[in-house]
Amino acid sequence: MLAIVAPGEHEGWVHVPARVCVVGVGGLGCPASLALARAGVGHLTLVDPDRVDVSNLHRQLWHHPQDVGRLKVESAGQKLRAQFPSLGLALRPGRVDASNVLALFEDHDLVIDATDGVQVKFLLSDAAVLARRPLIYGGVLRFEGLAMRVQPDGPCLRCLFETPPVDVPTCAQAGVLGSMAALVGALQATLALRPEQEKGLAWLHVLDGWTLAARTVRVRRRKDCAACGEGANPVLRDEAEAAACPTPTSTSPVRSAP
Ligand SMILES: [Zn+2]
């Protein structure tokens, strides 16, 4: 536990998790891993199958021009080791799927969703419900950023979006502002240190990078949620199978910066 002392009503405590898994080492995962290491997290596991591309450099702070072509986990791990010599690190250059996602939760106190794919976000949320471990969801599209802490007995991603949206443009199509990814990644690290106080509730944080307005939306657990609702029995499915989901009732963006 770490004391945060601030004037007025914000004095309180935060909890620094010992072991955190960051899935995706791009626009969200880079700032999130930096903030978590600075906060004193003892061990980080980085998961990402991709290699550094020149188009990533403007928003992915661990990756430099000389890293183009390297695995992102190796590029980020090298910089984290240099800056935080006592930090425990594990690098997993692979994709998260239904066969390995539960182990990620069981091996860590908390998982950060810094991915770039709608389907994998729902896979992570479903696994968080099954494993009863916290997940910090994050997403950025154009000027909008979203973040929410999914924790046991609280609402999950399917309480927000009944099924994965199917018409979300890619980051390449829509564009991502690098500074918005940095904001949301740092916000995810903050949410990792601060458990929700009310059982069955969570706060969706919405950042508007154009107006600079921020708002929070209270999210309740839905009794009929297919993942965390009463009597629900979520089945973990891989991306290709999950893509056959019916048309969603909501198309709000949940995509993150790659
Ligand atoms: Zn739910």
Task: Count other C-beta atoms under 10 Å from residue 192's C-beta.
Answer: 27
Tokens matching residue 98: 């239904």
HSE, side-chain direction, 13 A CA sphere, residue 199? 1
Output the CA 139–ligand 1 centroid distance in Å.
18
- CA–CA gap between residue 119 and residue 165 (Å, rounded): 9
- Write down the pLDDT at residue 32: 98
- CA–CA gap between residue 23 and residue 29 (Å, rounded): 7
Query: Mean of the per-residue pLDDT values for the chain?
Result: 86
- Write down the pLDDT at residue 247: 30
All domains in the chain, ordered by first residue: 13-242 (3.40.50.720)
Output the CA 222–ligand 1 centroid distance in Å.
6
Pairing of strands 19-23, 12-14: unpaired
Task: Give the confidence band of 205 by pLDDT, cuts at 50, 70, 90.
Answer: very high
What would the pLDDT profile of 247-258 be if each residue is shown by its tens digit? 333 334 444 444
- Write down the pLDDT at residue 171: 61
What would the pLDDT profile of 162-201 be if each residue is shown by its tens digit? 766 666 665 656 667 888 999 999 999 999 998 877 788 8
Q: Is the pTM of this model over 0.85?
A: yes
Question: Is residue 12 over pLDDT 90?
Answer: no
> Which residues are the active-site residues?
171
Give CA 94 to chain center in angstroms: 17
Output the CA 107–ligand 1 centroid distance in Å.
23
Output the CA 190–ligand 1 centroid distance in Å.
22
Give the length of the chain. Answer: 258
Output the CA 224–ligand 1 centroid distance in Å.
8
57 SS3 class? coil
- CA–CA gap between residue 156 and residue 219 (Å, rounded): 9
What would the pLDDT profile of 38-72 be if each residue is shown by its tens digit? 999 999 999 999 999 998 888 889 999 999 999 99
Output the CA 153–ligand 1 centroid distance in Å.
9
- Write down the pLDDT at residue 166: 66
* Residue 14 host element (H or E): strand 12-14
Q: 232-239 long-range CB contacts below 8 Å, 24 or more apart? A: 234/126, 234/129, 234/130, 235/126, 236/98, 236/101, 236/102, 236/123, 236/126, 236/127, 236/130, 237/98, 237/123, 238/97, 238/98, 238/123, 239/97, 239/117, 239/119, 239/120, 239/123
The sign of the dihedral angle between the CA atoms of 51, 252, 104, 236 is negative
Going by C-alpha positions, the residue among 157, 23, 17, 163 that lies closest to residue 94 is 23
